[in-house]
Amino acid sequence: MNEITATSIDFIGDIHGHATELMNLLQKLGYTNTQGYYQHPSRKVFFCGDFIDRGPQIKQVLELVKSMIDNHTAFTVIGNHEYNAICYHTLVNNQPLRENSGHNKNQHERTIAALNKDEMHYYVEWFKTLPIYHNNGNFRIVHAQWKEEHINELQSLGINNFSNIDFLKRTAQKHSKEFEMTECLLKGHELHMPGIYFLDKGKKQRDSYRIKWWKQGLYACKEALFEFPQDNDAIMPHELEGHTKNVPVFFGHYWLKNDEPVIQAANACCLDFSVANKGILAAYQWDGEAELKADKFVWVESTTGEI
Ligand SMILES: [Mn+2]
């Protein structure tokens, strides 16, 4: 990736095939579609990944986003849905790295329907080149969770994408170090609370909870975990590290359900406000500030409401 020195960047969250909302948002941010791609005279976009699956205009989103990235008017990190697609379509000894059935198939079926075989191959090859994280000293960005020890480990391995087949294969082996790193950075660490259940989006009973990792200190579970039963007063088994750097961190992934975007912490900003579930598509207009503020969000409503 080119060195990013700009301090006028619009960070945009998970799009999931919602091209109309993306175009509306870019327009609202002052970007125009000239010369075949969206651009702004003084600003760049940084996407958080998750372009595919779920929505009605997956191919249009990929074309729009890739044309911006190819022309250096946008940058991105990879999302868990792009990583899953790589594994889904990569065969090792005739077996896909991600099983092509059940939940995996349902989650990916709209992308399969949207792209023909050649297009799928083309975009999967492109997904392999997308960075896992970015840190330029002024800001950090990762799809789900910024975990310093994993970033340091990747840095020492000289790896920042999924183009290395040996690395990719190891990430697909459950409980390998590479698997744990990928899960944490792209999906967010979860806390297992045996016997305390909630129903997930697919109406499945689950007792692992996504952690609000950007909080710092000791919390009640209901404050620190998504979906945790509000009538349960259990305390977290450990303190949360938070994001202790002054450098802001941007991420997506958490399906926040606010009518208006909110800042998670002064130095931590989640940009996923569930456009793929009747929510909003939001951008944070960043101008180099270390302390983030809610009045710097710009957003558009979902136009389709489709999941
Ligand atoms: Mn995600």
Each domain of the chain, given as residue ranges in start order, spans 9-188+246-301
Residue 245 confidence (pLDDT)? 80
Quote the ligand 1 centre to 306 CA distance (angstroms): 17
pLDDT, tens digit (0-9, with 9 covering 90-100), for 253-280: 998 987 788 899 999 999 998 888 888 8
**Angle between helical axes of 117-127 and 80-88 (0-180°, round to 10):** 120
Quote the ligand 1 centre to 188 CA distance (angstroms): 9
Q: Which two tokens stand for residue 306?
A: 């489709």
Number of Cβ within 10 Å of residue 148's Cβ equals: 13
Quote the ligand 1 centre to 50 CA distance (angstroms): 6
pLDDT, tens digit (0-9, with 9 covering 90-100), for 94-131: 999 999 999 999 999 999 999 999 999 999 999 999 99
Structural class in CATH, domain 9-188+246-301:
alpha beta
Quote the ligand 1 centre to 35 CA distance (angstroms): 31
Residue 131 confidence (pLDDT)? 98
Residue 1 confidence (pLDDT)? 42
Phi then psi for 171, rounded to 5 degrees? Answer: -65, -25
Task: Determine the Cα–Cα distance for residues 94 and 104; give it in Å rounded to an integer.
Answer: 18
The closest of 104, 85, 190 to 147, measured between CA atoms, is: 190
**Angle between helical axes of 148-157 and 177-187 (0-180°, round to 10):** 120
Would you mind telling me the total number of residues written for the chain in this entry? 307
Task: Determine the Cα–Cα distance for residues 79 and 133; give it in Å rounded to an integer.
Answer: 10
Residue 66 confidence (pLDDT)? 98
| Whole-structure pTM value | 0.94
Query: First and final CA of the chain: distance in angstroms?
Result: 32
The closest of 109, 106, 79 to 202, measured between CA atoms, is: 106
DSSP 282: E
CA distances in angstroms from 291 to 124, 149, 257, listed in the order given? 36, 24, 23
CA angle 151, 120, 161 (to 5 degrees): 15
Surrounding ion ligand 1 within 5 Å at CB are: 50, 79-80, 253
For the chain, give the mean pLDDT. 94
DSSP 225: B
CB-based contact 283:174 (threshold 8 Å):
no
Residue 305 confidence (pLDDT)? 52
Percentage with pLDDT > 90 across the chain: 86
